[in-house]
Structure 1
């Protein structure tokens, strides 16, 4: 099952720690996904704070 890092919102499959930020808290409850190809040229990446390419959750739900 895909999970979203609660720190940077990167979607990961089965990592113990996020490969981007090193975060260890994940949620399986998230809404909307965006694919970032070039974070340096993306306005959405800037709003999310994404620094690397990948799939990111736009909103993470805790409950």
Structure 2
């Protein structure tokens, strides 16, 4: 049995949202990157200091640094 290849997650360069498709569902951008670091899951953006600092207003998966 051949080993399964891991799907590389793409991240939006504009809002740092982790994307499953070809475009970002948060901002609509197609400017995506495979080169990112740090994984962040925001559950409650209204009460999260990190979300406020990163200007995140929707719950979801985000990258801390995108290149």
User: TM-score, length-normalised on structure 1?
Assistant: 0.88
Equivalence for 1:11? 18
Stretches of structure 2 lacking an aligned partner (at least 5 in a row): 1-7
Answer with 1 or 2: which has the greater Rg: 2
Runs of 4+ in 1 over 4 A off after TM superposition: none
Rounded Cα–Cα distance in structure 2 between residues aligned with 1:23 and 1:50: 15
Stretches of structure 1 lacking an aligned partner (at least 5 in a row): none
RMSD: 0.9
Matched, 1:46 2:52: yes
